[in-house]
Chains A and B, each alone.
Chain A
Amino acid sequence: MSLRILVPVKRVIDYAVKIRIKSDRSGVETANVKMSMNPFDEIAVEEAVRLKEKGLVAEIIAVSMGNQQCQETLRSAMALGADRSIHVETDKELQPLAVAKILQSLAKTENTNLLVLGKQAIDDDCNQTGQIVAGLLGWPQGTFASKIELSDDKKSLTVKREVDVGLETLRLMLPSVITCDLRLNEPRFAKLSEIMKARKKPIVKKTPEELGVDVEPRIKILKVEEPPTRPPGVKVDSVHALFDKLVEHGFV
């Protein structure tokens, strides 16, 4: 069977930007800050496109959730090679559980057999969405993928995963969920001709209500703070004094 891939892409603060905390400590300042597609999601799209270039994929659908500006991220995904997009429009704060529920609903209606996600978003660093949606769908998961191969009979995937002890190789029966890690691939530069074509590819709008999903956040952020500033160093003038200080601070 041909792969029908769904790739969620998230609009986040560009990873190269130095972030600031809002003065009321409610979160990170996003106004007037450069936003880009989550780097791990770029890797996910790139992997889907590479599978398509091998002739293994019927269709790649990109999905993004949030306000109108998500459309920019979807255009980027289509410029990289996604065939069409879905914009799930909402102003609510979306947490991994809500995103997973939406993906579960879309995977069913779009007849997806491979869900490819970035391993985590660089703004919340949750690393949960892929795992939760695999659980909701009852599909096997290959997380932190550094290599993906489709079997000759097209019924399973061999996934190499980066784990603490090294590399682990799994075989997953389709349909399955993959989350992508850094070394899976290097995303291409979008060609201008593709960027122009992407402007005409379709983006369908949906809402969480239409999909029957309750996206109410279950976790409340109480406060966001910068890490404590490093205290100044202390100079000592002898080895004895150094030793005493080390003992005083419990290092020896």
Chain B
Amino acid sequence: ACPYKPQSVNVALVGCDTYEETQKVLLSAKKDLGEILSAFEFFDTEALELLLSKDKNAVDPLGTKCRFYLLIETSGSDSSHDKEKVNNFLEKILSAGHIKDGTIAQDESQASSIWYLREHITEALKKTGYNYKYDITLPSPNFYDIVEQIRKRLSPDLAKVVGYGHMADGNMHLNIVSPTKSDQVLSQIEPFVYEYCATNKGSISAEHGIGLFKIEALKYSKPSAMIQVMRTLKQTLDPNGILNPYKVIPTHD
């Protein structure tokens, strides 16, 4: 049977000025919202700025510029129970000073406007130039550090660097955009980003997979013995290599 559509959905957007504050909000959300927490999305001020400049349908609900934005959604079956939990949680993080400002959607239309921001960053990036996209997982302390590291390696007139993602899963979508494709820019990103993931116990691909483009990077997340096992299994089950060819498994070490 199909799962029921949740009765009661709350969408809030909060802003923090430091990364440490976002971590405190995440911890508090996991603890105080518990089973009703259904989304915890992150984007930086650079992502929002880019979006607002490229998309006239995007509206900044907070009006105050914050370093980081968090979209927090809850889904449950009892609206009064959920509303109380959400209000208590927001009051707690506000009075503890973990957030600079925030808002909670008063109706479906506001909820859509808030989600619109998170969901249209990628389109805005596309309109800005040539995109270098990375879907990585990193432990909490490194989640945003990678974005700042990459930003240090690229001067602002060469490229823009933005970070957004599924923070509760440690999944960062690191995005760099330059006016046109540039090998110089690419050389500053790769293999640095993959080495960073390998050194910090992260993954070079969180949810988007290896496919065609990350075959050479697989070694940063999987030891060669493991890759050899994958290759052996693949050769056993698909000796002619006709199933999903050219993807995932490197043909050589």
Check A192 against B104 for contact (C-beta < 8 Å).
Answer: yes
Are B106 and A76 in touch, CB under 8 angstroms? yes
Closest to B99 in A: A192
**B64 CB, min distance to chain A CBs, angstroms:** 9
Per-residue 0/1 for A190-206: is the Cβ within 8 Å of any B Cβ (1 yes, 0 no)? Answer: 11110110010000000
Is A37 at the interface (CB under 8 A from chain B)? yes
User: In whole angstroms, how far apart are the Cα atoms of A17 and B63 in the complex?
Assistant: 28
Do A190 and B104 touch (CB < 8 A)? yes
B102 touches A196 (CB 8 A): no
CB < 8 Å neighbour of A15 from B12, B14, B94, B107: B107
B108 and A15 within 8 A (CB): yes
Query: Is B108 a contact partner of A17 (Cβ separation < 8 A)?
Result: yes
B103 part of interface (Cβ distance < 8 Å)? yes
Chain B positions 170-204 with a Cβ under 8 Å from a chain A Cβ: none
Q: Would you list which residues of chain A between 74 and 99 have a CB under 8 Å from chain B? A: 76, 79
Q: How far is the CB of A13 from chain B (nearest CB, A)?
A: 11
Report the Cα distance A239→B186, complex, angstroms: 62
With A32-B7, A34-B79 known as contacts, the answer to whether A192 contacts B101 (CB < 8 A) is: yes
Interface residues on B, range: 20 to 34
Are B103 and A34 in contact, with the CB atoms below 8 A? no
B61 within 8 A of A: yes
Query: Does B91 count as interface, using CB distance less than 8 angstroms?
Result: yes
Q: Report the bound CA distance from A42 to B110 in whole Å.
A: 12
A16:B108 contact, CB within 8 angstroms: yes
Most buried by A among B12, B62, B105, B107: B107
B90 contacts partner chain A, Cβ-Cβ < 8 Å: yes
A39 and B107 form a contact (CB under 8 A): yes
The distance in angstroms between the C-alpha atoms of A189 and B71, with both chains bound, is 14
Tell whether B109 is near chain A: CB-to-CB under 8 Å: yes
With the chains together, A58 CA to B61 CA distance in Å?
27
Residues A42 and B102 in contact in the complex (CB < 8 Å), given A34-B79, A189-B62, A193-B94 = no
Shortest CB–CB separation between residue A55 and chain B, in angstroms?
A: 20
Q: Report whether B109 and A196 are in contact in the complex, using a CB–CB cutoff of 8 Å.
A: no
**A59 CB–B CB distance under 8 Å:** no
Contact A14 B104 (CB under 8 A): no
In the complex, which residue of chain B has the Cβ closest to the Cβ of A36? B107
Query: Beta-carbon contacts of A177-193 to B below 8 Å, as 1s and 0s?
Result: 00000000000011111
Which residue of A is nearest B15, CB measured? Answer: A192
Using an 8 Å CB-CB cutoff, how does the interface string of B73-117 with A read, 1 for contact, 0 for none?
000000100000001001100100001011111111110110000
| Residues A196 and B94 in contact, CB atoms below 8 Å apart | yes
Within 8 A of B (CB), among A1-48: 14-17, 32, 34, 36-37, 39, 42
Chain B's closest residue to A76 (CB) is: B106
Q: Chain B residue with minimal CB distance to A73?
A: B106
Which of A16, A37, A191 contacts B102, CB < 8 Å? A191
Q: Is B8 part of the binding interface, using a Cβ–Cβ cutoff of 8 Å?
A: yes
On chain A, the residues within 8 Å of B61 by CB distance are: 189
Contact B101 A193 (CB under 8 A): yes
The residue from B8, B79, B103, B107 contacting A192, defined by CB atoms under 8 A apart: B103
Contact status B107-A37, CB under 8 Å = yes
Task: Give the chain B neighbours of A17 by CB distance below 8 A.
Answer: 108
Which residues on the B side are within 8 Å of A32 (C-beta)? 7
Residues of A within 8 Å of B101, CB to CB, are 191-193
Can you report 12 A-B residue pairs in the complex whose CB atoms are below 8 A from each other?
A16-B112, A36-B106, A36-B107, A39-B109, A189-B61, A191-B62, A191-B101, A191-B102, A192-B12, A192-B102, A192-B103, A196-B94
B-side residues, CB < 8 A to A, are: 7-8, 12, 14, 61-63, 79, 87, 90-91, 94, 99, 101-110, 112-113
Can you name 12 extra interface pairs (CB under 8 A) apart from A16-B112, A34-B7, A36-B108?
A: A16-B109, A36-B107, A39-B107, A189-B62, A189-B105, A190-B106, A191-B101, A192-B94, A192-B101, A195-B104, A196-B91, A199-B87
Question: What are the 8 closest A-B residue pairs judged by CB atoms, nearest first?
Answer: A16-B108, A36-B107, A189-B61, A192-B102, A189-B103, A14-B108, A76-B106, A14-B107
